[in-house]
Structures are given as structure tokens and as C-alpha cells.
């Protein structure tokens, strides 16, 4: 379990783009003052992983098909990132679902087509940029 936690932390750090100094500072802040995963207890490692998750280091997982006309994984990641930019809780946020319903006319992200996903992403980018 310990190795999985350390691996999860490493992936989260890579996803957030922290350099080594910032990474060590982040570890110290959330890992009981320790600047290395090797010196942390399992509880401290869990705290660091939870802090990375709260920071949005791990992409939201969503169910959906992968056939023709289905949104791509890149589109899902882009939508999740836009939702976090808006201060929302990623793909699970009720405000995002409401926006998708208004924009694409579907009640759940699972039902979006690739084209509808593009419309939603474009709409969110325009909203975010104030256009």
C-alpha cells in the first residue's frame, strides 16, 4: 500500500507541474514537516495524496463510450479542467451538469456526443473569458 501511495503522489505532482523545490515544500506542508515521501508514515502519505486530490491533480473519471461520435478522453479532461477553472468540483459538479443541460439538452455528461461536447467546451471557454 505504501508504494501505491508514493506512486499516486508522484503522478499527482507530475500532473500539477510542481518543480522539485515546490514539491518538497508541498510535502513539508502536508506531510508533517517531512520533505521526502520515504520518511513519511502511511497516514502522512495519505494526507499528501488527499491534498493533491483537493488541488485537482488527478483527472476526474467518468463513464462513457469510446465509439464513433463519443467524446474523446482529451475532451473529457478539457471539460474537467474548465470546470475546475470555474471553481467547480470537476465533472461531478451540479453547476456543470446544469450548464450541459442548457447547452446540449442532455441530463448527464454520459449522453454527450463528440459534437455536443465541443459545443459545451466552447461555451465554457467563452463564459470563462467573458465573451
DSSP per residue, 4-42: HHHHHHHHHHHHHT--HHHHHHHHHHHTTT-S-GGGS-H
Number of folded domains that form the chain: 2
Name the residue among 43, 42, 44 with its Cα closest to residue 34: 44
Same-domain check for residues 9 and 45 = yes
pLDDT of residue 64: 54
Q: Which domain holds residue 24?
A: 2-54
pLDDT of residue 18: 85
Q: What is the mean pLDDT of residues 100-121?
A: 94
pLDDT of residue 16: 84
59, part of any domain: no
Please tell me the distance from the alpha carbon of residue 7 to that of residue 49, in angstroms, as a whole number: 10
Same-domain check for residues 50 and 86 = no
25, part of any domain: yes
64, part of any domain: no
62, part of any domain: no
Separation of first and last alpha carbons in the chain: 47
pLDDT tens figures, 2-60: 999 999 999 988 888 889 999 999 999 999 999 999 999 999 999 999 999 888 888 76
Taking the whole predicted model, whether its pTM rises above 0.85 is answered as no
Amino acid at each position: 500500500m505504501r508504494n501505491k501511495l508514493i506512486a499516486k503522489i508522484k503522478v499527482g505532482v507530475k500532473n500539477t507541474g510542481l518543480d522539485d523545490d515546490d514539491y518538497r515544500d508541498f510535502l513539508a506542508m502536508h506531510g508533517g514537516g517531512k520533505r521526502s515521501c520515504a520518511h513519511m508514515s502511511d497516514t502522512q502519505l495519505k494526507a499528501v495524496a488527499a491534498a493533491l486530490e483537493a488541488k485537482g491533480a488527478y483527472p476526474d473519471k467518468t463513464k462513457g463510450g469510446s465509439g464513433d461520435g463519443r467524446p474523446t478522453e482529451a475532451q473529457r479532461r478539457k471539460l474537467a479542467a474548465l470546470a475546475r477553472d470555474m471553481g467547480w468540483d470537476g465533472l461531478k459538479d451540479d453547476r456543470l451538469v446544469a450548464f450541459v443541460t442548457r447547452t446540449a439538452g442532455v441530463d448527464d455528461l454520459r449522453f454527450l456526443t463528440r459534437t455536443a461536447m465541443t459545443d459545451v467546451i466552447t461555451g465554457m471557454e467563452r463564459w470563462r473569458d467573458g465573451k
